[in-house]
Amino acid sequence: MTSQTLREARKYEETSEKLIGKEERPDFHLTPRTGWMNDPNGFSYYKGRYHLFYQYYPYESKWGPMHWGHAVSSDLLHWEYLPCALAPDEAYDRDGIFSGSAAVLPDGRQLLMYTGVLKEHQERDIYREVQTQCMAVGDGIDYEKYEQNPVLDQRDIPEGSSRFDFRDPKMWMKADGTYACVVGNRPADGSGQILLYESADGFQWKFKSILVSNHDRFGKMWECPDFFELDGKWVLLTSPQDMLPEGFEYHNGNGTLCLIGDYDEENGSFKEMQNQSVDYGIDFYAPQTVAAPDGRRIMIGWMQNWDACGIRSPEEPWFGQMSLPRELSLKDGRLYQRPVREFDAMRRNKIEYADVAVSGVVKLDGIKGRKVDMELTVRPEGGQELYQKFAVRFAQDDTYYTSLSFRPRESILKVDRKFSGSRRAIIHQRRSLVNTADGELKLRIILDRFSVEVFVNDGEQVMSAAMYTRQEADGISFFADGTANIDVVKYELE
């Protein structure tokens, strides 16, 4: 039976969606059907299509009681909206359906696992959210909540751990047909930990181990964990809250963390070997991955930063967008990311320039647009002294632009959107240390109306940022202090 709460959400989104024009959205980044979107949920491949659910409040373009929005795609780039999948309509989840994941049952039905939220009165005017893990089963459109929810609650967490910070289950089926999941939690020291659970049937879950403990190294609470095998190692992705910066690797606030190491499945223990950021730009959080049918590991994230939600007016009909889906690989102990290969089929009208000397500002014929895939190599001009700075500006007109600038002597790449049209004093720039040999750097810059994603050195690093500059600002220009030499290949995207 569909609840009244879910019926209302479905009716509302169907009507409201019609008021948003195609040109008012990105072309190939998923946005909410209407209203608010945050974390990707239940990223999965089911019945021949990719399914992506998302944290969703249909009624306003700001955070509210969370639902699960739902979209499907055959190529990860062109999405079709399905009706809202879950609504906060039970006693144990009436204050929100938080993040979670999806798997397939042996009988072919889709299994969803999510965090149910219930506000509990503490004292005076203080309420706290009790978080439990719950299941729902469905056919890819309609889902029924498990009658014995919640399946994990405060009785299933280690002693001293918080029942108020116990969320975001990421579930997978193991080789033997049983299930496992990781959940973010906060231990007694107030820092983060990732808990591991196992289930024979996907419904009855039991605690296995504390997979990883933060010990106050990377931020505090660890949200939205994901855990998978990649190129012979195991990778844990998680999003720590309240980070302190560490050089140019980790920045203040909510960040993304990748731990690479070895996993002892029998004991449920993980041995970390390397750590790094997942995205070095301004807007990227809560990534989730799926194993594609061809074996690729594909990741998508919320292309937004909690501290910068004021960049867009709540009067707008939608807020929040997903990143480009990215193929993951490990190389030299490092996580590499590239746009999914399906993306190359969207390239049209190639324009190419080689060996262009840039000193001061240079514009090139045919290099403009807001839906663009541009490959750019910059290097010193032969026989010239190393340039001081190189920059590319885009989404540009006489008033606005967003820029990417590189200082080869410090090996620092910076994304800066302070002139993008925002009227808020939020985070507008972020810097990253990049690998460069003698001032040479390789960039792939992808624009889609309201965002930029920069893949550095064939995916060694990525920098993502949202920008809501008016669409008429479609200029692209290059600048060098000193003389730089560039190769440019630019495609329009359809």
Catalytic residues: 39
Distances (CA, A) of 259 to 213, 273, 278, 331, 334: 12, 7, 10, 14, 10
CA proximity to 446, closest of 290, 349, 323, 335: 323
- Residues 160 and 133: beta-carbon distance below 8 Å: no
Q: Which 3 state secondary structure label does DSSP give 343? A: helix
Nearest alpha-carbon partner for 168 in 246, 250, 68: 68
CB 382 within 8 A of CB 375: no
C-alpha distances in Å from residue 102, one per residue of 43, 53, 180, 259, 293: 7, 9, 12, 23, 15
Nearest to 477 by CA among 386, 419, 393, 385: 393
User: Within 13 Å of residue 36, how many CA atoms lie on the same side as its CB?
Assistant: 20
Number of residues that this document lists for the chain: 494
Rounded to whole angstroms, how far apart are CA atoms 311 and 375? 28
Q: Which helix (H) or strand (E) holds 7?
A: helix 4-17
